[in-house]
Amino acid sequence: MSDNQNIYVLLTDTGTMFTKLIKRITAAPYNHASLALDENLNEVFSFGRKCANNPWVGGFVEEDVYEGTFRHFPGTRCALLRLQITREQFEAARRVIQNYKDEEDAYGYNLIGMFGVLMRLDITRERSYFCSQFVAEAMKQSRIHLWDRPSSAVTPNDFFQHPAFEVVYEGMLYDYPLLDQSRLAGFQYPLQTASS
């Protein structure tokens, strides 16, 4: 059995008004980050909207790429990044995620911190995270050291540009070849042009 494991960061752009506003400020291709424990995207976690049609109610979420927010925005573009880690780090990450799941209701969304990172300000709120802050913090708690800076200063684009990550897929989320095609059968998303 190999001593190495992979962990994944899923970066997405749903194309909502909210994400378009962030994109104007950052000029980055992706504005949401999630931590995935498997390449099939069956175990995906982040801090984001609790309800697909309400961006103002947020917190810790176990994301389902077939339902919820992603189903609500089927034209979502994504990049899937892979990081090789040790088995010990992977098991630590699983424990960290379980702790967040066990105390899900105690966490909130760090909206102020998200706007702070856009303005290069470090705004940390107890038990509150925005998406990339959560992914960075979960990795830090799992002894996966990527940056010498607070998790609240990490953006989705920082993962995209980090040399330790390998881009294993980039394109439309629902074109990702390892998704369960039976769950996508008959589902249409808006046609995208190569320039969109």
pLDDT, tens digit, for every residue of 55-69? 667 899 999 999 888
Tell me, what's the pLDDT at 121? 67
Looking at residue 187, its pLDDT comes to: 63
Residue 38 belongs to a domain with what CATH number? Answer: 3.90.1720.10
Is 76:70 a contact under the CB 8 Å cutoff?
yes
| Bridge-based pairing state of the strands 128-129 and 108-109 | parallel
Is 108 inside a domain boundary?
yes
Q: What is the pLDDT of residue 58?
A: 82
Query: Is 155 domain-assigned?
Result: yes
Structure tokens at 143: 């002894």
Integer Cα distance of 60 and 107 in angstroms: 7
| pLDDT per position as a tens digit, 123-164 | 677 788 999 999 999 999 999 999 999 998 899 999 999 999
Rounded Cα distance, 79 and 75, in Å:
13
CA 89 to chain centre: 19
pLDDT in tens, 28-39: 899 999 999 999
List CB contacts of 128: < 8 A, sequence separation 6 or more. 107, 108, 109, 110, 113
DSSP annotation of 178: T
Q: What is the pTM of this model?
A: 0.88
- Domain encompassing residue 150: 4-184
Into how many domains does the chain fold?
1
Confidence of residue 20 (pLDDT cuts 50, 70, 90): confident
Any domain includes 64: yes
* Predicted local confidence at residue 64, as pLDDT: 94
DSSP string, 84-134: EEEHHHHHHHHHHHHHHHHTGGG-EE-HHHHHHHHTT----BTTEE-HHHH
Tell which wins on pLDDT, 182 or 95.
Answer: 95
pLDDT digits (tens, 9 = 90+) for 73-83: 888 999 999 99
Q: Is 27 inside any structural domain? A: yes
Give the C-alpha separation, 139 to 145, whole Å: 7
